[in-house]
Structure 1
């Protein structure tokens, strides 16, 4: 199981890479494929929507056939999507490619969560899940300056072909190395409706709905056009800012688990982190044209504090019975991921509407930051009514 756990964390590097690499390519795709910012926001959104839509069938597959085959087969689909991206000639083809990649990456994190939930107590889940996110987030770093340098040397199409080959190799390694945990022997059965009937989950889901959308959307797309259009940064400069935000995401993921143990409460930890993230978003909203280094620091702040995803998942996991772990965890994950896809569609339309109305680009970006700040406030308000789960262990 130890080797399989390491293997799945390595596979998660690819998932993190694919949700973030588009930010580096935005200037090239705008020129080479005549893609608009709304096109690219939609392409990013399609990744998350496909990823989210696959969570429910993946949950059933985890419970019935296990994480090994589920993850290996779908990772091969992600490799095919990367090849489609490399061959794309139109924005629509980019969107289709991103949807295929998103669907292919869908099982990796929840397969890891599934194994953790079966092998460890609920109170330990948050720490181990945040460690998984932290180590896997190195893939986000790879999608910043390192990928930018690779694209400069080899071109974006050749770079994506190389990533497709590596992803296919990773799928084979998962199939050979990962071992499925023993099945739960229980006469009890359940479905998604059984998960939805768990009343304490609902206020937790409200925070899950908004906790990941800002860092994923800003890092995965808006970082590139914002620092290019407003601050005039080059592709390498954008990669460097992305690297800073990626490092903040890794750091936040590594410290939030131990922080939850120190605070003695998953709820307090999640509330604190999301409140701090909302403050960073509010500052970007109020001063969208500030100096590039101040904006980069606030983007890094969103990354640092926008890492509560595993803690909120751990909070929810405490209310999910063992026979529903696969479907329960994937549904919680679905809520967080689908929200990113929807928010990309909404913010892309907000930005383009401002452009059509003749507003300067800085106002359009302000609308994007303001949207994320407001939904964060709404999610936090509802989360206040959640019940405490198990104490962090």
Structure 2
């Protein structure tokens, strides 16, 4: 863990924060600028879709320009600039513009670290290092929960965003000076995304990558706030505490997954069983929709824990990539993951609007969870046909 990797890890903490803080700020943004849950779903979706759209040029840039300049420039312009726009927001449209900029700024930081791990470390270590980076970065989920509520209540959300603008800009400058680019593969200049797409085994992983993080990202990033508010009349502090609990589960989850592929010598079945656990917890939320706020929060934590399969799926995909396609390959996988959340935010925003006003308070959210359950079930069925890879034979 050198200074460059530490700064990329901190940048990923900021990335996790920015994708999750709208859920906690929803009461304040509703009061101050009239942002509805559907407005926030759109703004959050723009973060994820912009993030996803940037993955293709970032994949090219990692293989050709290198991770140092790619991450530093985008974080400065997008992360710092987007936070400044957010702090000045007067309408929900401004939030969507700001979140789009921030999504572009956050897009390269995790992939830059994964690129370095893939080229500078043995393949068998990739799953652990990937999980460690996600586990550390997910601390941003914790900061985006109860502490953000306190900050919004004391200094105001606009002042907090100006602080994040300064912090993002300073982190970008640190990355520029501290990150060291790995030695480039000569054949990387000739690689292409078409070559990645010709790897047939990846096509059975892409669908699960598309849906596996969609529920976790959408729930923690937005819907946990409106759900608890409308179905249980939860106060902002309870929403912050629930978000904190789910964030902690999402910090522990990646590290819990990281040794399992080596212990059981399978990547595929570790991912499948964990994802099936998410499906069961989602069905539990649907069944117990209005019974008890504590049960719902507990099930959300289960979803956060078992839904932390991102590093494991990324490791499965990475094991199928030749060295000269690592940059393009991991960013294409990441495009599926983040793009899935963006699509889910738009779809669930429409589901919410279509079921509002409702005969009973939790109906819009039950319909949202039914959508997630159906999407995850389809992804799991396709993943059953994927090729397993054995980490102990790498």
Superposition TM-score, scaled by structure 2 size:
0.97
Q: Is it true that 1:143 corresponds to 2:144 in the alignment?
A: yes
Matched-pair contact (CA < 8 Å) for 1:47–1:99: yes
Count of residue pairs the alignment pairs up:
392
Between 1:5-14 and 1:104-113, the stretch displaced more is 5-14
| Residue in 2 that maps onto 1:368 | 368
> Is the 1:71–1:107 contact (alpha carbons within 8 Å) kept by the matching residues of 2?
yes
Query: Root-mean-square deviation (CA), in Å?
Result: 1.3
Q: CA deviation at 1:264?
A: 1.4
Q: Give 1:179's aligned residue.
A: 180
Counterpart CA distance in 1 for 2:135 and 2:380 is 23
Corresponding residue of 1:83: 84
CA contact (8 A) 1:316 1:389 kept: no
**In 1, Cα distance between equivalents of 2:187 and 2:20:** 40
Match in the other structure for 1:264 = 265
Farther off after superposition, 98-107 or 383-392: 383-392
Distance 2:175 2:359 in 1: 49
Deviations 1:241-271 (A, max 9, x none): 0000000000001111012222211111110
CA distance in 2, matches of 1:307, 1:64: 30
Q: Secondary structure at the match of 1:361?
A: coil
Once residues 322 and 221 of structure 1 are traced to their aligned partners in structure 2, the CA distance between those partners, rounded to angstroms, is 37
The verdict on how the C-alpha distance between 1:372 and 1:187 changes in structure 2, with shifts beyond 3 A counting, is closer
Indicate yes or no: 2:121 matched with 1:108.
no
Compare 187-196 and 104-113 and name the one that shifted more. 187-196
Q: Measure, in 1, the Cα distance between the counterparts of 2:188 and 2:326.
A: 15
| CA positional deviation for 1:185 | 2.6
Show the counterpart of 1:48.
Answer: 48
Question: Equivalents in 1 of 2:11, 2:346: separation in Å?
Answer: 27
Farther-moved stretch of structure 1 (113-122 vs 338-347): 113-122
Judged with a 3 Å threshold, the aligned counterparts in structure 2 of structure 1 residues 187 and 125 are, in CA distance, closer, same or farther, namely closer
Tell me which residue corresponds to 1:4: 4
Q: Please, what TM-score do these two structures have when normalized by structure 1? A: 0.97
Match of 2:223 in 1: 222
Q: Distance in 1 between matches of 2:334 and 2:129?
A: 16
Matches within 5 A, 1:230-379: 230-355=231-356, 358-379=358-379
1:205 matched residue in structure 2:
206
- Could you tell me whether the CA contact under 8 Å between 2:75 and 2:172 is conserved in 1? yes
Query: Is the deviation greater in 26-35 or in 372-381?
Result: 26-35
Whole-angstrom CA distance in 1 between matches of 2:204 and 2:42:
28
- Which secondary structure does the structure 1 equivalent of 2:289 belong to? coil
* 3-state SS in 2 of match to 1:230: helix
Contact 1:318 1:390 in 2 (8 A): no
Unaligned runs of 5+ in 2: none
Partner of 1:58: 58
- Offset at 1:361? 3.0
Paired residue for 1:124? 125
SS in 2 for 1:212: helix
Q: Which residue does 2:164 correspond to in 1?
A: 163
| 2-structure distance, mates of 1:289, 1:260 | 37
Is residue 123–residue 390 contact of structure 1 (8 Å, CA) maintained in 2?
Answer: no
Q: Deviations over 1:214-249 (max 9, x none)?
A: 110000000111111111221111110000000000
Runs of 4+ in 1 over 6 A off after TM superposition: none
Q: Whole-Å Cα distance in 2 between the matches of residues 205 and 145 of structure 1?
A: 34
Distance 1:188 1:239 in 2: 47
Quick check: 225-234 or 212-221, which moved more? 225-234
Mapped contact 2:14–2:168 kept (Cα < 8 A) = yes
